[in-house]
Structure 1
Amino acid sequence: MSLKPWREIAVPHEDVLKGTFQQAEFAADISKVHQGIATPEYRDAALFFQRTFITEGMRLLLDSVVKRLAGKGGDPVVQLQTAFGGGKTHTLLAVYHLAKGATPASKMQGIPPILDAAGITELPKARVAVLDGVDLLDLASKPRVHGKTTVKTIWGEMAWQLGGEAAFAKLAEADRDGTAPGKSVLADVIGGSAPCIILMDELVRYVSQFEEGKSLSGGTYDTQLSFIQSLTEALKAVPNAILLASLPFSDREAGSQQGVKALRALEHYFGRVQALWKPVATEEAFEIVRRRLFADVTDRLAAEDVCRAYADYYTANAGDFPPETQESGYLERLKHAYPIHPEVFDRLYEDWSSLDNFQRTRGVLKLMAKVIHRLWTTGNNDLMIQPGSLPLFDSDTRNEAIYYLPQGWDPVLERDIDGERAATTELDNARPLFGSIHACRRIARSVFLGSAPDAGAVGGAKHHRGIELERMLLGCAQPGQVLGHYKDGARALVDRLQYLNSANNRFWFDTRPNLRREMEDRKRRFDLRDDVYPFIKDKLRFANGVFGGTHVFMSSADVPDDWQLRLVVLPPEATFSKGAQSPAIDAATAILKNRGEQPRQKQNRLIFLAPDTDSISRLRDQVTSSLAWKSIVDDVKEGRLNLDGHQTKQASASLDQANDALGRMVRETFKWLLAPLQEAKPGKGIGEIQWDHFQINPAAVNRTEEIEKVLKEHELLITEWSPIHLAKMLQTWFWKDDATAVSALETWQKTCCYLYLPRLREADTLRATIAAGVSSRDFFGIAYGREEGRFQGFNFAQSTTPILDDALLLIEPKAASAFADKLAEEAAERAAAIKEKEAGGSGTGGGSKGDSTVGISTTTTGAGGESSGSGGGSTGAGTGTGTGGGTGGAASTKKTMFFGSVELDPIKAKLQFSDVAEEVLMLFTQKPGVKVRISVEIEAESPSGFDDGIQRAVRENCDQLKFKNRSFED
């Protein structure tokens, strides 16, 4: 269901829409109405009742008035005494129009039901006297002239208004002398004018100007009180006459000391015969304000849909909103108040009404008229007008709000709450999740409406300062919105704003800067190079993982140029952003090409991590905030700064929050992984350096593993390599120009240097790939050198574990296959020669001369003694046998000792020795009591000599295998 915003359902009155209303129009002036010079909404009875909501108190009063005027009972005297702005004058106007009878009752909205309830078919027209104390102020010392009649006193004015010259004549003497007329005279005047009604407004203002002991033409202080006493008594004698008088609610409203004294005296006289009027209830105020500000609710069903959506929203998130929102009656409150949210009225009537000069009804009307006008002109599309909707950025609205507050709120609103330069606007603009719902501004407005009166009231308006989180959310959130965004916004505001305070889940603004100001001042002390960058560097820690080293904010000269894979973290000023030439690319290129002043050789061993352009400024700000909070906490501990208990806790909590936020922000800022590469095609040259860029997940626990994962996923780092890819690379770049073999170590080293070759994790990655590929005939063969056209230590299509040194060769598969075929032919020739010799009685077989000689001798010793032998020096793939002891006929005794020696092919030694162990040695070891001794002798000879790498490897391996003797000789 699509909900309509308030502006599509409730249309404001034309004067509110156009902003043409005047503040004075909100102050009902009964004298101007009586004189016919008031604005139409007050002067015209039909229009007045159209915009007037008849409250329960007003209904009871009007019922009493119509009964009294019709002679059917009712109270003769009614005193209207409510809080400032409680609707007293407005009620007098309702009575005025009703009694005057200038407009038929049928055209006065809400009046016919009152007449029906009183059993009155037609209300008689009454004579009305309006005694407005403000309008009559000059009467005390300056008589008024009505035609040929001069009036000097308030009782003379009353008589003139009720019955003209005839009525005035009855108390002309009392008027001339300034003496109060008696009860009987007043009763005669009122009775002769009945049905009639006397309306007194601002009476205290008029009476208070008469000082005791001082006589004016309008009489004295005592004569004014005597007149009131006589008037109230006289009205009881006239059954169809009534007096309504409004009195201030408090001493503050009474004004001067003389005014307070007059109020006390008038309360005494009115209290003897009065009927107190019931004040306006908050719920009724909803309708009063709506009638005055809004012309009509054009779509009642749409309005109810909105109200029900709010009620359902509060029910679905019961734990996040105040308890009263869960009551069934809250839906009705929403409907009554629509399009203004009840929370606006609650805060204005409960909190703002405690302020001096804020009138309950008039003050709300004045403020809300400006609010609605600005919201309408700016195209506000909120579902209802909530505290978070208040356009405090508007100067008229802001001035109206702070008019009732003490000095000092201007900077609070401008810097912290609302406007182009406010911190809330900056936060909303910086984070889309906030900006999409204006979260920070709505929060600040809600907190202001709920806490500003508390800060301004003497002693605080409430026991606990500020508003709870639940009430803040009530002022901000609209159906369908995520409450978590507002909660995050509240945390961001507490951490940022200078005048916002929080404690015990409550929030409030104050005109006194909080610790935020101290922190902001201290932030300016810290230097980027000396303080901020070292702090960030300390936070950038990485496990080594695949990297041989991580280099944070280092110059090119300090980044080694070796075979290790290295992660280079670029400094804060070297930022990166997509779609533009970034400082990060320039900084990374400089390190990639040179180590200090020397050209860098191993370019393909560097990976770079760069900060985000959009985030780095926020990170710098967050670092200075953390440093500032830490300096405050340290100063408190050392006694250099005095804070109260709440501020001390706040400083510690703010430091913890700043550090937590800093950790997240460091990860969110340093998130761009940059990997250099080049494209190259044989015969077409090498392209320019390009940069692949990827974002690192800031939530990753182990960032090194996350970096490795990203590099592997995009094949920018190879940890496991298929032999087919190695063969293709060798075919493209190394097996060319009649070169059929290439150094494996040279291949590894070139992958470390050239950006167009694959980036291997380490040399073992290549060794594992060679080991996997050498067992097949499809990829390559290996050897450990080449002499006179022959490969030494050749292996092709057989499993082996290669040693990656400068002797290891990778042989093109066709060349390896041809050499393997040649070896097979030679082996076949040797085998044939051996058979031929054996047929001729020879006990040994020879082989072709090779690069090395391997001999193995075994000695088996029985109980009769021990003998040893050693294998000799011929080489090759052939085998030979030898025996110890004599030969001839059958022995007369059992043989007790065996000796045998065999020569093994160096290439197939592993397999051949396994055969010897299974076929010969096992025959001895399985027989109990037989002692077996085995020795292995290896002799290797190379005319060109063994290089240092082979010598080192052989010695290390011999030590591991526990050789008794091993040495190299010249």
Structure 2
Amino acid sequence: MKPWREIAIPHKDVLEGTFQQSEFAADITAVSTGKAGREYQDAVAFFERTYITEGMGLLLTQVAQRLAGRGGEPVVQLQTAFGGGKTHTMLAVYHLATRKCALSDLAGVPILVDRAGLMDVPQARVAVIDGTAHAPGQAWKRGKQVIKTLWGELAWQLGGAEAFAMVKDADATGTSPGKDVLRELLTAYAPCAVLIDELVAYVRQFSEGQALSGGTYDSNLSFVQALTEGVKLVPNAIVLASLPESEVEAGSQRGVAALRALEKTFGRIQALWKPVATEEAFEIVRRRLFEPMRDAKARESVCRAFADAYVSEGAKLPAETQEGRYYDRLLQAYPIHPEVFDRLYEDWTTIDGFQRTRGVLKLMAKVIYRLWKDDNKDLMILPGSLPLHDGSSRNELTYYLPAGWDAVIERDIDGDRAETTELENKEPRFGQVGAARRVARTIFLGSAPSSVATKVTTRGIDRARIVLGCLQPGQASSVYADALNRLSDRLHYLNASGDKVQDATRFWFDTRANLRREMEDRKRRFDDKTEVRGRIAEALKKAVGNAAFFDGVHIFTPHADIPDDTALRLVVLPPENWYSREESRAAFDSVLDRVRNNGSKPRYRGNRLIFLAADHGALSRVNDAARVALAWASIVDDVKEGRLNIDLLQKNQAEKELKTADEVLPRATRECYKWLLCPVQETPTDPKPNVEAFALNTTAGSVGGEIERVCTDNELVIATWSPIHLRTKLKELYWKEGQNAAGAAAFFEDTLRYLYMPRFKSRDVLAQAIKAGAASRDFFGTAYGQSGEGFEGFALGGGSVVFDDTLLLIEPDAAKVYDAHQKTLTTAPTDMGGAAPDTGAGRSGGFSDSATGQYGGLTTTANFLARSKSFHGSADIAPATAKMRLVQIAEEIIAVLGSDPNATVKLVLEVSAEFPEGATDTVKRAVSENARSLGLKTAEWE
């Protein structure tokens, strides 16, 4: 496909840059006096470059019919926006009426004449009343004749001195000549046309109640009313008058009052004129700026390629591009893309002062000149093609905008030092198509008018329209979408609002730096060690602070502040102690340091700590997320406190961004802190402990639940333990070298200290394992003390067990031998060859003599032929095991004796204590009070 420059050739004056601003301003007075350029002065040349719009065609048809006396409206008011083509339309009427050539030489006119049902249009006299040509307080001369008023000028132009004589007295006195005189004047010189331009500019110069040579304010309004009333009585005369549409164009308050008065006057008899449609403007601009198209097939090929590309992109582009008629719009607008016209006519024309036709012509002439000089090879001139780096083109747009836009364009949009240029230099994918600059230019064209107080109510343009302003056939829309995403985070003056979805976010440039840039500036101010770390700690606390699996969670806590006790604790390492598979030293050294040390003191229970560390690859992201959250929070706080002045839209944006940042930080934190580190030691003889790392699933449920799963699955923490594992560990480490008994409490204490020991979730895990093992004869025996070779409170299988500091776990084989020996001591012959009565001594092991260590206790008699009448027993009980021993005696001796209903059982408890150094007052007072409350028969101190 050929670029636009090979299909559409601009006019010579556009190519050479020799056009002047005045050439775009049609001046009806200059034409009527023969002082205009050829393109305006010559009727043939004028119609060659003029596209007859629907409104102009209807008007010329009315004029042709009226001049021929075949109907038509007598008065037509031309009232459109500034630059809407009013004066140009009057020139078309002027050339139609005053032509010096055949109608067939005027391009487009013969068709209109046929439509009017005429064979010809008579040549007519034309009077041009230009409100800017004369001053109401200063007379002017036509030859030797002095003329003071508009009606005098009207008569002179229609019929010279003869016609002027009809209104001479009214001109001299400055009073309106009246409807009848004007009717006679128009009838005498019909067919005729009266073209009145810029009338408001003339009338507003009259001060209220002040008479000038040109009459008064009221007399001029009376003249206009008389003229409109008189012309309708002349069938082949017509009046065309142009009025501004807006009060801004009318000027001062007096101008506005004049406009309203004239609107009422013309409103009595008028036919409104239809303004130029956007599609018609396509042809107007093309005829004025380009030579006639010579290669229609090439143009159609390019337009078809654009239309097909838009259909293939689908929902990524505006809905109208999916319709078949968009191809027709492309053809009509070629070589300028319809989106350029839409933005200029829909957005830029809302700015007071920007002219609908003249402003667009001036801008596009400069744009085309620069693109031609730069050898632009785009297929069409798109919004993304605008050479905003060119001062002349840029000034044509910034002239209508508030101050400050030059800095925005130079820094963010277009130019050698712009951020967009820098991004394209770094990213070849963007640089190949100029994606960043094209995106920025498109946003500027579509959003800059909203910086002015205009009719634009929705700020910015959406993603689909931005892509439309950049995309050409053969290119991927994703390149421009990616460029937009990069720019939205990078540019100072680019703003965005809406949800983060394709069709909801809108983008615009403003002369104030955007809040995102303010955020970017602020987030650099925060200190890593205090503010950033504190914000990450807050997020971690919400994520793992309530992990019920641990007795305590310590986030970035110093050595000395982590208690050295029996509680199971999760320690979250600070960011500098990060972990990665390639480099683990920083994390591992920190773990082992905390296991060994408790501040300046050694740590004794290091096996109660599990560690959570940051992933090195994700650390920068979580740091950035924390800074972003801090920055947005500071902006929102400053807005609330009045320290930062922004508009409501930006305030809502800041609050929404803060909410998003607060949602992103926990996710980033979880993705970063994903390594569970566990200190380990395989055997007691290992020279140095090690650290194992386990990756957490960052997409699982809660963080606490995931840590619990990893700890349980990998047996880093044991929540339930089998007696067989307890027996194995006791055999491995405790039941050896002649030692057949191990203290349960000492075993648990060792699990707290040594990394080669199992790490229990709590003491209850060991207690349950002991309880389950004590119920069987296969795992271990239990006792509550040992004297020599004897055990106090010995049991093997089926006995109740209390896990206290005196509990002993006895190797099962030794326990069985001891149990068998105990049973032989209690076995004796009975009368009739029967067994001895079960006294329970075999289960309890009798009573141990703590002094001699001999087994004995119950006094037994070999001869049970005569029934025993009484029983007496005594025992020495060690104070350390008194509680358990007394319970056993009560259950296994006293309860058995009391089972005989005829037995009378009496217990006497004797307690004696010796204090070589003397008992303290505290002990004496406590024992005496307790003795009284318990009802002891004697309680004496000596």
TM-score of Structure 1 vs Structure 2, range by shorter chain: 0.5 to 0.7
One-letter identity of the residue aligned with 1:649? K
Determine the structure 2 residue equivalent to 1:14: 12
Residue 173 of structure 1 and its aligned partner are, at CA, apart by: 1.0
Given the superposition, is the C-alpha separation of residues 176 and 552 from structure 1 closer, same or farther in structure 2, using an over 3 Å criterion?
A: farther
Given the superposition, is the C-alpha separation of residues 539 and 449 from structure 1 closer, same or farther in structure 2, using an over 3 Å criterion?
A: farther
Determine the structure 2 residue equivalent to 1:99: 97
One-letter identity of the residue aligned with 2:71? G
Residue aligned with 2:291, SS: strand
Residue aligned with 2:456, SS: coil
Contact persistence 2:523–2:631 (CA under 8 A): no
Determine the structure 2 residue equivalent to 1:238: 234
Given the superposition, is the C-alpha separation of residues 481 and 52 from structure 1 closer, same or farther in structure 2, using an over 3 Å criterion?
A: same
- Does residue 1:409 correspond to 2:408, yes or no? no
Tell me which of 127, 130, 150 is aligned to 2:146: 150
Given the superposition, is the C-alpha separation of residues 72 and 354 from structure 1 closer, same or farther in structure 2, using an over 3 Å criterion?
A: same
Given the superposition, is the C-alpha separation of residues 528 and 69 from structure 1 closer, same or farther in structure 2, using an over 3 Å criterion?
A: same
Q: TM-score, length-normalised on structure 2? A: 0.59
Contact persistence 2:575–2:619 (CA under 8 A): no
Cα distance in 2, alignment partners of residues 187 and 626 from structure 1: 82
Given the superposition, is the C-alpha separation of residues 160 and 512 from structure 1 closer, same or farther in structure 2, using an over 3 Å criterion?
A: same
One-letter identity of the residue aligned with 1:128? V
Tell me which of 460, 465, 468 is aligned to 1:471: 465
Deviations 1:252-297 (A, max 9, x none): 2211111111111111121111111111111111111111111222
Residues 49-58 or 630-639, more deviating: 630-639
Determine the structure 2 residue equivalent to 1:114: 112
Deviations 1:742-800 (A, max 9, x none): xxxxxxxxxxxxxxxxxxxxxxxxxxxxxxxxxxxxxxxxxxxxxxxxxxxxxxxxxxx
One-letter identity of the residue aligned with 2:655? T
Tell me which of 492, 501, 505 is aligned to 1:498: 492
Determine the structure 2 residue equivalent to 1:450: 446
Deviations 1:184-218 (A, max 9, x none): 21112111211111100001111111122100011
Contact persistence 1:53–1:287 (CA under 8 A): yes
Deviations 1:657-697 (A, max 9, x none): 99999999xxxxxxxxxxxxxxxxxxxxxxxxxxxxxxxxx
One-letter identity of the residue aligned with 1:268? K
One-letter identity of the residue aligned with 1:650? E
Determine the structure 2 residue equivalent to 1:128: 126
Contact persistence 1:520–1:625 (CA under 8 A): no
Determine the structure 1 residue equivalent to 2:58: 60
Residue aligned with 2:507, SS: strand
Residue 469 of structure 1 and its aligned partner are, at CA, apart by: 0.8
Number of aligned residue pairs: give it.
596
Given the superposition, is the C-alpha separation of residues 641 and 423 from structure 1 closer, same or farther in structure 2, using an over 3 Å criterion?
A: farther
Given the superposition, is the C-alpha separation of residues 655 and 445 from structure 1 closer, same or farther in structure 2, using an over 3 Å criterion?
A: farther
List runs of 5+ in structure 1 lacking aligned partners.
Answer: 559-610, 612-618, 665-700, 702-970
Residue aligned with 1:243, SS: strand
Determine the structure 1 residue equivalent to 2:651: 644
Contact persistence 1:370–1:397 (CA under 8 A): yes
Cα distance in 2, alignment partners of residues 421 and 374 from structure 1: 19
Contact persistence 2:523–2:630 (CA under 8 A): no
Given the superposition, is the C-alpha separation of residues 426 and 127 from structure 1 closer, same or farther in structure 2, using an over 3 Å criterion?
A: same
Tell me which of 408, 433, 440 is aligned to 1:437: 433
Given the superposition, is the C-alpha separation of residues 24 and 529 from structure 1 closer, same or farther in structure 2, using an over 3 Å criterion?
A: farther
Determine the structure 1 residue equivalent to 2:165: 169
Given the superposition, is the C-alpha separation of residues 663 and 281 from structure 1 closer, same or farther in structure 2, using an over 3 Å criterion?
A: farther
Deviations 1:892-926 (A, max 9, x none): xxxxxxxxxxxxxxxxxxxxxxxxxxxxxxxxxxx
Given the superposition, is the C-alpha separation of residues 633 and 255 from structure 1 closer, same or farther in structure 2, using an over 3 Å criterion?
A: closer
Determine the structure 2 residue equivalent to 1:510: 510
Determine the structure 1 residue equivalent to 2:718: none
Tell me which of 266, 272, 275 is aligned to 1:279: 275
The CA RMSD measured in Å over matched residues stands at 3.5
Tell me which of 219, 224, 228 is aligned to 2:220: 224
Cα distance in 2, alignment partners of residues 426 and 124 from structure 1: 65
Residue aligned with 2:9, SS: strand
1:486-885 alignment, distance < 5 Å: 486-504=480-498, 505-522=505-522, 525=525, 543-544=580-581, 628-633=627-632, 635=634, 644-650=651-657, 653=660
One-letter identity of the residue aligned with 1:452? A
Deviations 1:455-478 (A, max 9, x none): 2225x612x321111111111111
Contact persistence 2:132–2:202 (CA under 8 A): yes
Given the superposition, is the C-alpha separation of residues 177 and 101 from structure 1 closer, same or farther in structure 2, using an over 3 Å criterion?
A: same
Cα distance in 2, alignment partners of residues 38 and 424 from structure 1: 45
Deviations 1:833-853 (A, max 9, x none): xxxxxxxxxxxxxxxxxxxxx
Residue aligned with 2:361, SS: helix
One-letter identity of the residue aligned with 1:312? D
Cα distance in 2, alignment partners of residues 621 and 465 from structure 1: 35
Residue 636 of structure 1 and its aligned partner are, at CA, apart by: 6.0
Residue aligned with 2:127, SS: strand
Contact persistence 1:443–1:486 (CA under 8 A): yes
Contact persistence 1:519–1:625 (CA under 8 A): no
Residue 515 of structure 1 and its aligned partner are, at CA, apart by: 2.0
Residue aligned with 1:214, SS: coil
Cα distance in 2, alignment partners of residues 119 and 266 from structure 1: 33
Cα distance in 1, alignment partners of residues 149 and 287 from structure 2: 39
Cα distance in 2, alignment partners of residues 121 and 106 from structure 1: 11
Contact persistence 1:9–1:302 (CA under 8 A): yes
One-letter identity of the residue aligned with 2:206? F
Contact persistence 1:447–1:467 (CA under 8 A): yes
Determine the structure 2 residue equivalent to 1:672: none
Contact persistence 1:539–1:663 (CA under 8 A): no
Residue 116 of structure 1 and its aligned partner are, at CA, apart by: 2.1
Contact persistence 1:11–1:298 (CA under 8 A): no
Contact persistence 1:622–1:658 (CA under 8 A): no
Contact persistence 1:31–1:130 (CA under 8 A): yes
Cα distance in 1, alignment partners of residues 120 and 490 from structure 2: 67
Contact persistence 1:17–1:373 (CA under 8 A): yes
Given the superposition, is the C-alpha separation of residues 660 and 80 from structure 1 closer, same or farther in structure 2, using an over 3 Å criterion?
A: farther
Residue 628 of structure 1 and its aligned partner are, at CA, apart by: 5.0
Contact persistence 1:53–1:291 (CA under 8 A): yes
Residue aligned with 2:292, SS: strand
Given the superposition, is the C-alpha separation of residues 430 and 238 from structure 1 closer, same or farther in structure 2, using an over 3 Å criterion?
A: same
Determine the structure 2 residue equivalent to 1:484: 478
One-letter identity of the residue aligned with 2:488? V
Cα distance in 2, alignment partners of residues 644 and 300 from structure 1: 52
Determine the structure 2 residue equivalent to 1:42: 40
Cα distance in 2, alignment partners of residues 227 and 365 from structure 1: 36
Contact persistence 1:519–1:628 (CA under 8 A): no
Cα distance in 1, alignment partners of residues 669 and 162 from structure 2: 88
Given the superposition, is the C-alpha separation of residues 640 and 350 from structure 1 closer, same or farther in structure 2, using an over 3 Å criterion?
A: closer
Given the superposition, is the C-alpha separation of residues 345 and 637 from structure 1 closer, same or farther in structure 2, using an over 3 Å criterion?
A: closer
One-letter identity of the residue aligned with 1:98? L
- Does residue 1:374 correspond to 2:370, yes or no? yes
Residue 97 of structure 1 and its aligned partner are, at CA, apart by: 0.6
> What percent identity do the matched residue pairs reach?
57
Given the superposition, is the C-alpha separation of residues 526 and 54 from structure 1 closer, same or farther in structure 2, using an over 3 Å criterion?
A: same
Deviations 1:919-960 (A, max 9, x none): xxxxxxxxxxxxxxxxxxxxxxxxxxxxxxxxxxxxxxxxxx
Deviations 1:691-739 (A, max 9, x none): xxxxxxxxxx9xxxxxxxxxxxxxxxxxxxxxxxxxxxxxxxxxxxxxx
- Does residue 1:247 correspond to 2:243, yes or no? yes
Q: TM-score, length-normalised on structure 1? A: 0.58
Determine the structure 1 residue equivalent to 2:456: 461
Cα distance in 2, alignment partners of residues 154 and 654 from structure 1: 70
Cα distance in 1, alignment partners of residues 667 and 299 from structure 2: 44
Given the superposition, is the C-alpha separation of residues 540 and 327 from structure 1 closer, same or farther in structure 2, using an over 3 Å criterion?
A: farther
Given the superposition, is the C-alpha separation of residues 189 and 637 from structure 1 closer, same or farther in structure 2, using an over 3 Å criterion?
A: closer
Residue aligned with 1:128, SS: strand
Residue 627 of structure 1 and its aligned partner are, at CA, apart by: 7.1
Residue 634 of structure 1 and its aligned partner are, at CA, apart by: 5.5
Residue 490 of structure 1 and its aligned partner are, at CA, apart by: 0.9
